[in-house]
Structure 1
Amino acid sequence: MPKVSGRNGNGMRSSNTSKYDANNKVLSQTYGALAELRRELSDTKEAVASRGEILRSFATCPDSQRSWLLLEDYFEKLSLSRKDFPDTNWWPKMLAATGTTRLEELAFLFLRARRSVPTELAAHASAERFARAEEAEHEQKL
């Protein structure tokens, strides 16, 4: 009697994992597209206020180490880390700025990484200023 193999002709195991993976991929793509809406709906007023307080401290903090820790706390509350932002030269720009300019730089960081801007940071995310900043950066590189 011939042996029944768990593999199909091309060396891959035949199972329902491909169907499962396809379903998960579709769900993750759909969920990813609605990430901003999901964040807005899931954020409680207390969570937004807490993150806003961290942002206010971050904007006015003169110490680079404390600023870094505040930013890490902010990212943690958003379930993010600095590794989620692939650009490596953003920290010196952020340190050079203070006040609302620093918050604007943080909003630009989210926009450059193509991430949805959190609710409490949305006021500092001007698409027009972001486009001008990107254009100026591009001209500097040339």
Structure 2
Amino acid sequence: MDAIAYLNIILRLAIWFLLTADFSLSNIIIGVAIALLLPRGATSPSALKDWLRVLWEIIIAIPQAYMEAIEIMLRPHNHEDIVQERVKPCRTPGLVFLDIFLITFTPKTIVTKYHENGWYEVHRVKRKRRNTVRQGDRETR
């Protein structure tokens, strides 16, 4: 088995444990069996590099998520929009899942839809800046 196959099995097991929240011996055996029995797709040689890049981005996203959560608590974010983001080319289903997880992991963004033609719909909250200037006792915009 190559490295990508191991990463796919680990990803499948992680999803299984997140769904079941049960680390009993019988559940571990069932999870391993399911991870091994699910069909595998063909992988390209550059897929390992993509996997490592996404795993690094997830490590970077953890402190970013904490910073965004604190920022949302301290300064309200009252503007939202939905944007389209392009899926990176030649993504395996596992990498698409990790991309969606990465986008949704941070508090300011969530993937609302994945389009099979290569786009994510991403809902974002933003802090809208006002163009407010105080002049005396009245506000102008």
TM-score range normalised by the length of the shorter chain: under 0.3
Higher relative contact order (CA 8 A, sep 6+): 2
**TM value normalised by structure 1:** 0.27
**TM value normalised by structure 2:** 0.27
Structure having the larger proportion of residues in helix: 1
Structure having the larger proportion of residues in strand: 2
